[in-house]
Amino acid sequence: KYAHIFGFGERTGIDLEGESKGLVASKKVKREIWDEDWRLGDTFNAAIGQGFNLTTPIQLSVMLSIVANGGTKYQPYLVDSITNSDGSLFEKPKRAEGKHIDVSQQTIDYIRMGMSATTQEGGTASYFAGLPKPIAGKTGTAENSHGRDHGLFVAYGPVDDPELVVVCIVEQGGFGSIAAGPIVYKAFEEFFQEKGYMPRPDKAAPKKDTIQ
């Protein structure tokens, strides 16, 4: 129920062809695909996102934006508007209005608190504490029967006034905190440098030619 509320198991409606709706583990899905009964172990696996759940990066982004903004679900898009050659507006694509999901504010706050703790001292991605503003994140490791596990990391920030959501998946990368986390860190580092929250590293001065 709550996976569907956050947008899993359905298309986000982003303006891209061929979007997958993924899978949310359930008795019905298991019966339709494998023709097997649901077992207690399936419940445990589904609860932690393992088993036969399938999700896309854009679904993870939508879920994370809901948490970041306090509970409102928005339709993602690539094109904001289409303009004529003279700069005047030709068309603004229609999209669904934001809607507050049916989850209590207390639950949203608990998720935000847990994700904030992940990136602080003692968390599984404590190295994010080195950034100038606090980030909320979550590591993930997706089991892969065809090779090494896939590493995932999702994050939003700054915590107090979120502006950016980043989702990273490294196929067969291993643990999310090791494979995907540092990539997300770099994205926020660049974002904070662009915003002026932290200085850019000094570029090495070019070497001068010497005449002998």
What CATH number corresponds to the domain at position 39? Answer: 3.40.710.10
Q: Same structural domain for residues 136 and 99?
A: no
pLDDT of 201 strictly over 90? no
Q: Same structural domain for residues 123 and 69?
A: no
Q: Same structural domain for residues 17 and 71?
A: yes
Q: Same structural domain for residues 18 and 46?
A: yes
Structure tokens at 167: 């989702």
> For residue 189, what is the domain's CATH number?
3.30.450.330
For residues 3-32, average pLDDT: 93
Cα distances (Å, whole numbers) of residue 121 to 114, 126, 128, 189: 13, 5, 9, 18
State the amino acid at position 121 in one-letter form. E
Q: Same structural domain for residues 33 and 129?
A: no
pTM (two decimals): 0.87
**HSE-CB for 184 with a 13 A CA cutoff:** 30
Q: Same structural domain for residues 16 and 99?
A: yes
Q: Which helix (H) or strand (E) holds 95?
A: none
Structural domain total, the chain: 2
Residue with tokens 């090494």: 148
For residues 37-41, average pLDDT: 95
Best CA proximity match to 112, nearest among 153, 74, 69: 69
